[in-house]
Structure 1
Amino acid sequence: MRTKVAIIGAGPSGLLLGQLLARAGIDNIVLERRTPDYVLSRIRAGVLEQGMVDLLDEAGVGARLHREGLVHEGFALSFGGAGHRIDLKRLSGGKVVTVYGQTEVTKDLMEARAAAGLTTIYEAESVTLIDWETSSPRVRWVKDGLAQELTCDFIAGCDGFHGVSRATVPSTAIRNFERVYPFGWLGILSETPPVDHELIYVNHPDGFALCSMRNPMLSRYYVQCRFDDKVDDWSDERFWDALKSRLHGEAAERLVTGPSIEKSIAPLRSFVAEPMRFGNLFLAGDAAHIVPPTGAKGLNLAASDVRYLSSALIEHYDTGSAAALDRYSEQALARVWKAERFSWWMTSILHRFPETGGFGQRIQQAELDYLVGSEAAMTALAENYVGLPY
């Protein structure tokens, strides 16, 4: 088999890259070790920056997003028993975010790829990347017990934190930066109306909480929990009690509870791998970086990687120039580190850290008080939340 770009991973970053390349006339094949149903079963974030919405429009998959997505012009910070609205649209000069689940983004991209007759190979086992440092990379895998091989010009590693792409690179050629946080997020999905029409981020003595949603009758809620907690430790009743106790008065009164239809615990980490290019192997999305979910930057960072990489590949095939490909890693990492900083900062002001004690809690309180009392501080928050320019 032969293609121009082999894409490893059929998550949103891999599928979006494939869609943008295909629309530019660049052949590509996507390899995914899981089944389509498994890929769609992964529950992830769903707050999209305007830049990502524009990119999905460019890829021709934005129609359902615009019909069903929830446009948010602000969100609330809750601490000290009161809520404080951050007016994103006013503070950022008119920019907003759109709530639309990652599962829905992936589904739209899957359907568009299938409709265009593009090749996606699911259940590709034992994927191996070969000669990626040369001008003739190859990808090998096993499908239905048969060994197969694909030759290509470039390999795009979009296969996530635990994927084969980054693991293929020798440790001497890559530098990893990581911080693991001493807590997790326990999240549930429930068929209940959201507690508010916008998101609520909560700082509370018992720990962080987040009130979010997927649509007007599907809510997504989170509470901070111990890093070693297990899902079985948390009954629905315990979760709802913990969430309600962390909400300020009006929000607590509006909370509608019900059976969870999904429940999971996500560990929190900040991670960056440098560089993001190795010969003709390029990393994108979670394969290269992870952010804590505070501030909803993970999916949006993957989209900006795809924007830079797709543009560079299109320029290369249109003009023969490698200039944009040579800039890819530096350009992507500049935005990655700004998003890492913002996600770390939001995490630091909203969560309870066991090692900080009373002094750290007072500093956190002072930071929040300053934030909601300063137009400049709120503007900086809004600019980062709606997304820095590509």
Structure 2
Amino acid sequence: MRTQVGIVGAGPAGLLLGHLLHLAGIESVVLENRSRTHVEERIRAGLLEQGTVEVLTEAGVAERLHREAMVHEGLELRFDGQSHRIPLTGLTGKRVTIYGQQEVVKDLIAVRLGAGAPLLFEVDRVALHDLETDAPSISFVHEGIAQRLHCDVIAGCDGFHGICRDSIPAGVLRAYERVYPFAWLGILAAAPPASHELIYARHERGFALATMRSPTLSRLYIQCRPEEDLTQWSDDRIWAELHARLAHRDHGSPVKEGPILQRGVTTMRSFVVEPMRFGRLFLAGDAAHIVPPTGAKGMNLAIADIRVLAQALEAFYRGRGTALLEAYSGRALARVWKAQRFSWWMTSLLHRFDGDDLFEHKLRLAELDYVCNSAAGAMTLAENYVGLPLAPG
């Protein structure tokens, strides 16, 4: 097989890159080790920055998004039993959008298959070769047949546990990591959302978050231990903890109960590798960086990476040289580290750490009070939450 760009991974990053290249007349093949059903049904983050929505709109894959998504113009911080709204749109002129990552994936798969562009699911034994040459290749097995894909460039969009980053020789990448001493116990419930906007709560028992997937589906989280045993969490215990942590001092709990459809524990880490490139292999999204979910930056960072990479590849194939390819890692990492800083800040502000004493707790409450009652503090949160500007084209 022969193509111009080989893409490993059919998540939002790999699929969007394939689509943007298709629009530019550049050939690509997307390889995915999971089934189409698995990729389309795995539940992931669902908050899109305005810049992400604009990228998807310009790419022509946001028709259903604009029809079905829930647009938010603010968020609520709840601490010390009181609520404080941050008017995101009033402060920045921008909004955020609730639209599940799996829905973005469905839209991108549909448009790629509709265009007849190559997308292979359930690919096995993937390996990368000759990355330091101008003729790299990908070997794999599909439907029992061993194949090799020859290409000019490989895009590693296969996530944190994928093979692309591990294909880079030891000592080339610098890895930066922080593992947090807590996790999120998350549920998806067939119940109306607790509020029409997200509620982030700091409570003496730990963090809680009330968000949603639709007007009839709620997504709720509580801080827990990384080694939490889900068998010890009955439905009644989960709901009791959510009511306690999200309660308003005067109005009680806004949480609405319903059948729990899914539950799981999400560990928390910050991770970045530099550079995001080795030879003709370019890493994007979770293959290169992970953020704790508190700031809702994971998929948004992946989309931002892909926009930069697609611009660089288009310039390369239009005969404008390799300058943008050479600059890809630096351009992407400038935004990645700002998102890491914000995600770390939000996580530190809202969670209880092992060993925190009353002094630390009071400091966090004072900082939250400053954020909510200072124009500068509220603007800092708002402009980071709705998304910092994308790298110029």
User: Same fold, TM exceeding 0.5?
Assistant: yes
Report if aligned partners of 1:193, 1:219 keep a CA contact under 8 Å in 2.
yes
**Matched residue, 2:358:** 358
Report if aligned partners of 1:46, 1:102 keep a CA contact under 8 Å in 2.
yes
Cα deviations across residues 332-367 of structure 1 (Å, max 9, x unaligned)?
001000000000000000001012322221211111
Report if aligned partners of 1:57, 1:63 keep a CA contact under 8 Å in 2.
yes
Query: How high is the TM-score relative to the length of structure 1?
Result: 0.98
Quote how far apart the aligned CAs of 1:41 are: 2.5
Matched ranges for 1:1-390 at <5 A: 1-92=1-92, 94-249=93-248, 252-390=252-390
Cα deviations across residues 258-292 of structure 1 (Å, max 9, x unaligned)?
11111111000000011001111000000000000
Report if aligned partners of 1:50, 1:98 keep a CA contact under 8 Å in 2.
yes
Cα deviations across residues 309-348 of structure 1 (Å, max 9, x unaligned)?
0011011111331111111000000100000000000000
Question: In 2, Cα distance between the equivalents of 1:376 and 1:33?
Answer: 46
Quote how far apart the aligned CAs of 1:80 are: 0.3
Question: In 1, Cα distance between the equivalents of 2:230 and 2:52?
Answer: 32
Secondary structure, counterpart of 2:179 in structure 1? strand
Report if aligned partners of 1:20, 1:58 keep a CA contact under 8 Å in 2.
no
Question: In 2, Cα distance between the equivalents of 1:197 and 1:290?
Answer: 28
Report if aligned partners of 1:75, 1:85 keep a CA contact under 8 Å in 2.
yes
Aligned length: 389
- Structure 2, gaps ≥5 residues long: none
Question: In 2, Cα distance between the equivalents of 1:251 and 1:264?
Answer: 29
State, as a whole percentage, how many aligned pairs show the same letter: 56
Q: Which amino acid aligns with 1:217?
A: T
Quote how far apart the aligned CAs of 1:144 are: 2.5
Report if aligned partners of 2:186, 2:219 keep a CA contact under 8 Å in 1.
yes
Report if aligned partners of 2:247, 2:254 keep a CA contact under 8 Å in 1.
no
Q: Which amino acid aligns with 1:345?
A: W
Question: In 2, Cα distance between the equivalents of 1:201 and 1:298?
Answer: 18
Report if aligned partners of 2:46, 2:98 keep a CA contact under 8 Å in 1.
yes
Secondary structure, counterpart of 1:85 in structure 2? strand
Question: In 1, Cα distance between the equivalents of 2:17 and 2:251?
Answer: 40
Question: In 1, Cα distance between the equivalents of 2:285 and 2:252?
Answer: 36
Question: In 2, Cα distance between the equivalents of 1:342 and 1:65?
Answer: 26
Cα deviations across residues 176-201 of structure 1 (Å, max 9, x unaligned)?
00000001101111111101000000
Report if aligned partners of 1:305, 1:332 keep a CA contact under 8 Å in 2.
yes
Q: Which amino acid aligns with 1:158?
A: C
Q: Residues 39 and 366 (structure 1 numbering): CA distance in 2 closer, same or farther, change over 3 Å?
A: same
